Amino acid sequence: MKIGIIGGGNVGGTLGTRWRQYGHEVLFGLRTPNDPNAQSLAKESGAKIGTAADASAFGDVVVLAVPWAAAEDAIKSAGKLAGKVLLDCTNPVTSWPEVEIGAESSGGERVARWAAGASVVKIFNTTGYLNMANPRYGSEVVTMFYVGDDASAKKVAAQLATGLGFEPLDAGPLANSKYLEALAGLWGTLAFRQNLGLEIGFRLLRR
C-alpha cells in the first residue's frame, strides 16, 4: 500500500518507519523536506521525502500526524484530499495533555470539514509513539480505538493497525472522536502528570 504521511515527528516518523518494515511504500510530507532532519528520517526509515502535497498525491492512504496548531494549514498545503482515506492522528490540544473537551465539535470532525471529500478515520491518537513502535505488553496488546463514517476507510485503518500489532476496535461514527480525544487526554495525564511514563496503554477486556 502507498501511504503518505503529513508530519515526521515522533508519531508520524514511528508509524512510517514501521509500515516500511512491513513492505508498505511511504512518503513523508514535510514543511522542509531538504533539511538534515528530513534526510535523516529518510535514511533511517527507507521512506521517500517530499511536501504535504507530494504525500497527498502519493498515498492511497494519507496520515495526518502534525501538532494540532498546524493541522488546518497542513491540510490546506496537502491540496486535493477528496476521495482519499485520511487517518487523523491529531488531538485538539493547546498545552499537552489539556485536550479541548466540550468544544462545538471534535477535532476529528473539524479535520473532516477542512479535508472536504476525504474519508476521515480518527485513529492512532489515544496512545504514545513508543506503543506504536511496540504495542505488546507480555501476552497482551494495546487496543487501538478508531472511529469514522466510511466503512471501507475504517477497514483500511483497522488493517494498518493490525499490521503494527494493535488490536483495533471500532468505536463508532466520526462524531465519537470526542471520546477518543478525551481518552488521549487521560493517557497524557497518566503518562506525564502522574509520572507513569510513556510505556502505558489501554486494553479493552471482555468476559
At 128 the three-state DSSP class reads coil
Residue 78 burial (C-beta neighbours within 10 Å; 0-12, 13-18, 19+):
buried
The CA distance from 146 to 169, in Å, is 6
C-alpha cell of residue 163: 499490521
Cβ atoms of residues 113 and 138 within 8 Å: no
pLDDT in tens, the chain (207 residues): 999 999 999 999 999 999 999 999 999 999 999 899 999 999 999 999 999 999 999 999 999 999 999 999 999 999 999 999 999 999 998 777 778 765 568 999 999 999 999 999 999 999 999 999 999 999 999 999 999 999 999 999 999 999 999 999 999 999 999 999 999 999 999 999 999 999 999 999 999
Contacts of 69 (CB under 8 A, 6+ apart): none
Predicted TM-score (pTM) of the model is 0.96
- Taken in order 82, 86, 90, 91, the sign of the CA dihedral is positive
Residue at 166: amino acid letter:
F
